Amino acid sequence: MSEDCIFCRIVDGEIPARVVYEDADVLAFLDANPLAPGHTLVVPKAHHETLRDVPPAGGESLFAALHSLTPVVEDAVDADASNVAFNNGEAAGQEVPHVHGHIIPRFDGDGGRPVHAVAGDRPELSEDELDAIADDIADAVDE
Ligand code: 5GP
Ligand code: ZN
């Protein structure tokens, strides 16, 4: 628990939230400033800033909760689809430094954008550069 973390304080029950799911490792609650009806945040109960800080078991329970909750949230608000995403780090727009997945219900014709809209200008990458990046990632995964 981090004393000055809003989401730790929600996990601890110090700050009220509309909790929709809880298990030993994960809490899910409605976003206070929703982008759509049903906008839900899914957080590990332990304080970790970004996904890279979450240990493997924490990642499994976090994904399991996102996986089971997403269709339930969609159905609850009669959504046609959803975006499920993390702002993972400050440069990616993360404002609350306690890792959280967003489940954002989407509706036909809602005027929203796909996740492709979140990044800056598309880079121009040659075939060689793409090969090198793929190799670097694959090699690092093997280590
Ligand atoms: P981020 O930009 O860090 O990915 O998103 C943080 C989200 O947390 C925002 O969508 C914001 O509306 C939500 N949020 C911030 N403070 C609170 C709070 O005290 N309670 C709840 N339920 N949501 C919050
Ligand atoms: Zn926290």
Tens of pLDDT, residue by residue over 66-119, are 999 999 999 999 999 999 999 999 999 999 999 999 999 999 999 999 999 998
DSSP states along 61-115: HHHHHHHHHHHHHHHHTT-SEEEEE---SGGGT--SSS--EEEEEE-TT-----G
* Domain locations along the chain: 6-142
The pLDDT value recorded for residue 142 is 77
Residue among 19, 21, 29, 33 to mutate when testing ligand 1 (max atoms within 8 A of CB):
33
Contact 2, 98 (CB under 8 A): yes
Q: Ligand 1: which residues within 6 Å by Cβ?
A: 6, 15, 17, 29-33, 41, 87, 93-96
Q: Whose CA is nearest to atom 12 of ligand 1?
A: 33
Distance (Å, rounded) from C-alpha 5 to C-alpha 118?
Answer: 25
Indicate the pLDDT class of residue 2, thresholds 50, 70 and 90: confident
6-142, superfamily in CATH? Answer: HIT-like (3.30.428.10)
Contact 19, 29 (CB under 8 A): yes
**Predicted TM-score of the model (pTM):** 0.96
Q: Is the pLDDT of residue 143 over 80?
A: no
* Rounded distance from Cα 38 to ligand 1 centre (Å): 13
The pLDDT value recorded for residue 65 is 98
- Active site residues per annotation: 100
* Rounded distance from Cα 11 to ligand 1 centre (Å): 13
What average pLDDT score do residues 4-9 get? Answer: 96
The pLDDT value recorded for residue 36 is 98
Tens of pLDDT, residue by residue over 24-47, are 999 999 999 999 999 999 999 999
The helix (run of H) or strand (run of E) holding residue 128 is: helix 127-142
Q: Is the pLDDT of residue 3 over 90?
A: no
* Rounded distance from Cα 40 to ligand 1 centre (Å): 10
